[in-house]
């Protein structure tokens, strides 16, 4: 970081800043300019408390240079991380080949899940999504089938070879979900649940699909990933799923610029969820194409055989034929940006 002193700051004030920097076991380098003095701080200062210097007399501002996340940062790991997601087809995320995860919002029963699973497989998807534990706004809404839903997902993997993605809502369910699913999803509401993130890092090596909190900044998103990696699991797949804004014609606003921004900041793969990102099935194909054009490493799309009767998120779920068409279109976009499906 760089400490910029106020114009007219006294020598005593500069000395106090230097003393505090040394107390942090960092090295100072004082540069006296014509207008004002700045103090460059040398050493790894990203875990130090900047506010100590900010509140010092004579300090104008403190400018951080290093990102606060370390192991998630591309500075420490220049190559994009490629993560195998499981299943029998060798699917990965982060490489040249895109990873398309698709399936219903919730596992509702065996026949609908198997129908979607075969549809996803047929269309060339890489993995099957399906919630067994559902984070619902109201306690009176369908909460998911729990372990029964996980059993159905495992059967769908057995039949299709697709990797299975399912949400884990609390640390008490990590072992249970990890027993059945290949990829554990952390939902938007849990991105700030630091106990869950750390527990996932400690208790499993399976990939974690970490959804961006709907009000989280890019920095907070990457720090959430840092929690998982720092606790021992390097296999974090980031997922942009839209954020809350003033805009009402969509359920969430899908900020696709985060894709190249994350790729500049971090080596972790990032997939885009155009279903939650818009809330409307008619917007999903265009945003899926746009996400791939923006360089996303994959997509996660809600697909339902009969969206009108879906127990959760029917309005944003596409049908199986719609999904097939999305795959055809996205394949062409992928080629145009030097990727494959």
Residue 239 in contact with Mn ion, rule: CB under 5 A: no
Whole-angstrom distance, CA of residue 42 vs CA of residue 45: 8
- Least distance from C-beta 276 to ligand PEP, angstroms? 4
SS3 27: strand
- Least distance from C-beta 276 to Mn ion, angstroms? 6
Contact residues: ligand PEP, CB under 6 A: 105, 131, 135, 187-188, 211, 241, 276
Closest to 300 (Cα-Cα) out of 322, 331, 270, 336: 270
Residue 273 in contact with Mn ion, rule: CB under 5 A: no
- Least distance from C-beta 282 to Mn ion, angstroms? 17
- Least distance from C-beta 90 to ligand PEP, angstroms? 24
Name the residue nearer to Mn ion (CB basis): 251 or 267.
251
Name the residue nearer to Mn ion (CB basis): 28 or 313.
313
Q: Which of residues 312-331 bind Mn ion (CB under 5 A)?
A: 313
3-state helix, strand, coil in the chain (%, to 5): 40, 20, 40
187 binds, options ligand PEP, Mn ion, none, Cβ within 5 to 8 A by partner type: ligand PEP
CA atoms within 13 A on the CB side of 54: 9
Binding mask 42-81 for Mn ion (x = CB under 5 A): ----------------------------------------
Binding mask 92-121 for Mn ion (x = CB under 5 A): -------------x----------------
Q: List the helix and strand counts (H, then E) for the chain.
A: 10, 14
Spell out the SS3 assignment of 143-207.
CCCCHHHHHHHHHHHHHHCCEEEEECCCHHHHHHHHHHCCEEEECHHHCCCHHHHHHHHHHCCCC
Name the residue nearer to ligand PEP (CB basis): 241 or 267.
241
> What residue has token string 């961006």?
212
- Least distance from C-beta 275 to Mn ion, angstroms? 7
Binding stretches for Mn ion (CB under 5 A): 105, 313
């Amino acid at each position: 970081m760089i400490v910029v002193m106020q114009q007219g700051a006294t020598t005593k004030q500069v000395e106090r800043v230097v003393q505090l920097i040394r107390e942090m076991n960092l090295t100072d380098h004082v540069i006296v300019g014509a207008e004002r003095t700045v103090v460059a701080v040398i050493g790894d200062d990203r875990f130090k408390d900047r506010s100590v210097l900010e509140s010092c007399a004579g300090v104008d501002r403190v400018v951080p240079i290093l990102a606060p996340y370390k192991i998630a940062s591309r500075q420490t790991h220049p190559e994009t991380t490629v993560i195998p997601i499981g299943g029998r087809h060798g699917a990965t995320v982060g490489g040249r080949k895109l990873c398309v995860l698709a399936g219903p919002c919730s596992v509702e029963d065996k026949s609908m899940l198997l129908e979607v699973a075969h549809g996803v497989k047929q269309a060339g998807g890489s993995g099957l999504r399906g919630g067994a534990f559902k984070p619902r706004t109201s306690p009176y809404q369908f909460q998911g089938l729990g372990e029964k839903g996980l059993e159905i997902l495992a059967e769908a993997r057995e039949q299709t070879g697709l990797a299975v993605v399912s949400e884990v809502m609390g640390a008490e369910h990590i072992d249970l979900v990890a027993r059945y699913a290949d990829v554990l999803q952390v939902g938007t509401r849990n991105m700030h649940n630091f106990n869950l993130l750390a527990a996932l890092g400690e208790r499993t090596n399976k990939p974690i699909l970490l959804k961006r909190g709907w009000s989280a900044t890019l920095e907070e998103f990457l720090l959430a990933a840092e929690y998982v990696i720092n606790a021992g699991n390097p296999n974090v797949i980031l997922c942009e799923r839209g954020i809350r804004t003033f805009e009402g014609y969509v359920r969430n606003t899908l900020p696709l610029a985060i894709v190249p921004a994350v790729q500049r900041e971090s080596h972790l793969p990032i997939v885009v969820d155009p279903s939650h990102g818009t809330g409307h099935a008619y917007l999903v194909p265009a945003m899926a194409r746009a996400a791939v054009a923006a360089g996303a490493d994959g997509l996660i799309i809600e697909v339902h055989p009969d969206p009108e009767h879906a127990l959760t998120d029917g309005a944003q779920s596409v049908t199986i034929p719609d999904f097939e068409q999305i795959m055809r279109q996205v394949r062409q976009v992928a080629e145009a940006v030097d990727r494959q499906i």
